[in-house]
A = this chain, B = another copy of it.
């Protein structure tokens, strides 16, 4: 009992979350979060409103869960980009960051999230009250980097990950130049540190 139900129950739970997130995603393609009700999401997923509350607690927590779920999609891509350059740390960071900035900048959902400014929007989830997302993304990115360079010092990896996350959020919310130029500049900035922290781990 202590290790979390049966595999079946865990699977249905995951299925439920996936379905509900898909429904929310579709809704968000049409109107901002502030105009979407929990009932909308529930019916869109073919699920009762209660099930939503049972799984997520309240509207705000669902919002956080959704944002993190979406971030997971990006992280999967980032992970792939990183693992494609396991022996060239700098190239890995450049590719990952550029891909992230490019896809995020083009993503319809992200555009709506960012344009959804006022009180009821989802923007605060990644900016003002964004600590949970920052921490989650840092943890995840730390794991990704450690997967690629297991011999790198953990403290260095965490520092690198958190800074990348914060810079990534900053550049997504207020873009400067192109994704390519931005990624290039950041990679150049972090390059020397990366060489030191990860570069020596090349076998």
CB-CB under 8 A from A191, the residues of chain B are 193
Alpha-carbon gap, A195 to B118, bound state (A): 43
CB-CB under 8 A from A38, the residues of chain B are none
Tallying the copies of this chain within the complex gives: 2
Q: Is the CB of B160 within 8 A of A166?
A: no
Segment with Cβ contacts to B, from A8-16, A17-25, A78-86, A181-189: A181-189
Q: For residues 118 through 176 of chain A, which have their beta carbon under 8 Å from a beta carbon of chain B?
A: 118-119, 123-124, 127-131, 134-135, 156, 159-160, 162-163, 166-167, 169-171, 173-176
Alpha-carbon gap, A164 to B34, bound state (A): 33
Known contacts A119-B118, A192-B196, A193-B191; is A170 also within 8 Å of B174 by CB? no
Which residue of chain B lies nearest to A187 when distances are taken between CB atoms in the complex?
Answer: B159
A190 CB within 8 Å of chain B: yes
Alpha-carbon gap, A127 to B171, bound state (A): 10
A114 CB within 8 Å of chain B: yes
Alpha-carbon gap, A166 to B171, bound state (A): 8
CB-CB under 8 A from A123, the residues of chain B are 128
CB-CB under 8 A from A173, the residues of chain B are 127-128, 130
Nearest CB on B from A40, distance (A): 23
Nearest CB on B from A64, distance (A): 14
Interface residues of chain A, those whose CB is within 8 Å of chain B, are 114, 117-119, 123-124, 127-131, 134-135, 156, 159-160, 162-163, 166-167, 169-171, 173-176, 185-186, 188-193, 195-196
